[in-house]
Amino acid sequence: MIRQYYRTIKRYQKERRLSASYNIKFFNYLFQKTEDMWWYNFVQSRGLLNDYPDMILSFFSVFGNHNVIDWHKSNVKIFFTGENVQRKGWLSYSDHALCHKTIDLALGFEYLNNDRYLRFPLWILYAFEPESREEEIRKRCEELCNFDFDLRSNFAALISSIDELGVRCDMYECLCNVSKVDCGGALLHNDDSLWQKYNDNKHQYLKNYNFNICPENSDTDGYVTEKLFESIAAGCIPIYWGSRNNPEPEVFNRDAIIFWQKGGDNSKTIEFIRELNNKPQLLRDFAAQPRLKDTAAEIIIKMFDELELRLKMIIARK
């Protein structure tokens, strides 16, 4: 316990040094440079601190000790998690740090009814630039929705490092009976080109595949990460499991996604994928469907607007 405590202090001190010259700070993150952080650029692009040059705004996440939230003295404290905090390993943050009275706003994927909480799921950070305004969001949705699909030379990709629940290995084994599945990540690794040819650029790598096997690492209502958006951005047909197989129902067109049932009978799904793989025109027709719903842009614009408004209100109160 003592050793862990000193590790916490050491990390906290390092994070303080890294953000010393900024009035927007980050703690308990898998750290990037402050100016590269999505949240930093969101706040800056909207000038939220322009009238408050002496105000300190701090963001906290799950990759560290709770104590840091109370240790650091900030005018505004925001908590964000892109992890499923209902899973083992993250349960200490299962309340989104709302047990800390100093947290002004908590952000995550869950549907919580709390005055200090706003739903803002992880996929937004991957699919949309923090500076995005209404016009850019609509344009991005249009790009994602209507992809000019061309048949690719490779069947399916699976990029992952772990498989705690066994669902990824099960999908791999089943779909290898259809055609070759390339695994560019650490899990089931059989292809070096992600690193050697594409310098770990997943987008460029996936553009060579008709399908992307992209299940979540857990199945919780609302828990949608970047995986579906990475798939459709690269023009792949997603083979997906997660979020109760009802991911972002106001954003995604279910008909453009192939859903997998963990522990269920997937024989019809496998045969459908086999048919798509063997019939190019059928594959083109499936891939030509709109990936997003007509409501997607409005939903995402609302999320951006609500986040900006909530931050403005919190900052103005301080």
Beta-strand relationship, 24-27 and 76-80: unpaired
CA 65 to chain centroid, in Å, comes to: 22
State pTM to two decimals: 0.93
Domain check: are 244 and 155 in the same one?
yes
67: in domain: yes
Query: CA angle, corner 156, sides to 153 and 157, nearest 5?
Result: 115
Q: For residue 156, give both structure tokens.
A: 């399916």
Domain check: are 209 and 90 in the same one?
no
Domain check: are 193 and 238 in the same one?
yes
Per-residue pLDDT of the chain (318 residues; tens, 9 = 90+): 666 655 767 776 777 787 888 999 999 998 778 999 999 999 999 999 999 999 999 999 999 888 899 988 899 999 999 999 999 889 999 999 999 999 999 999 999 999 999 999 999 999 999 999 999 999 999 999 887 788 999 999 999 999 999 999 999 999 999 999 999 999 999 999 999 999 999 999 999 999 999 999 999 999 999 999 999 999 999 999 999 999 999 999 999 999 999 999 999 999 999 999 999 999 999 999 999 999 999 999 999 999 999 999 999 998
Domain check: are 64 and 159 in the same one?
no
Domain check: are 46 and 154 in the same one?
no
Which pLDDT score, from 0 to 100, does residue 1 have? 63
**Look-up: residue for tokens 């930093």?**
40
DSSP string, the chain: -HHHHHHHHHHHHHHHHHTTT-SEEEESS----GGG-HHHHHHHHTTTTTT-TT--EEEE-SSS-THHHHHS--SEEEEE--S-TTSTTSGGGTTTTTTSTT--EEEESS----TTEEE--THHHHHS-TT--HHHHHHHHHHHHS------SEEEEE--S--TTSHHHHHHHHHTTTS-EEE-SSTT----HHHHTTTT-HHHHHTTEEEEE---SS--TT---SHHHHHHHTTPEEEE--GGG--STTTB-GGGSEE--TTS--HHHHHHHHHHHH-HHHHHHHHTS-SB-TTHHHHHHHHHHHHHHHHHHHHHH-
Q: For residue 78, give both structure tokens.
A: 């925001």
Q: For residue 189, give both structure tokens.
A: 């690794």
Domain check: are 278 and 303 in the same one?
no
Q: For residue 172, give both structure tokens.
A: 């791999």
Distance CA 265, CA 267 (A): 6
Domain check: are 192 and 219 in the same one?
yes
Domain check: are 228 and 252 in the same one?
yes
Domain check: are 172 and 122 in the same one?
no
Distance CA 144, CA 291 (A): 7
Which pLDDT score, from 0 to 100, does residue 147 have? 75
CATH number at 256 reads 3.40.50.11660
Which pLDDT score, from 0 to 100, does residue 229 have? 95
Distance CA 178, CA 275 (A): 9
With CA atoms as reference, report the closest residue to 75 among 50, 102, 101, 98: 102
Domain check: are 39 and 102 in the same one?
yes
135: in domain: no
Domain check: are 158 and 268 in the same one?
yes
For 174, residues 6+ apart whose C-beta sits below 8 A from its C-beta are: 266, 270
> Number of structural domains, the chain?
2
CB atoms within 10 A of CB 287: 21
Domain extent at residue 313:
2-127+299-317
262 touches 171 (CB < 8 A): no
Q: For residue 207, give both structure tokens.
A: 């553009």
Domain check: are 309 and 267 in the same one?
no
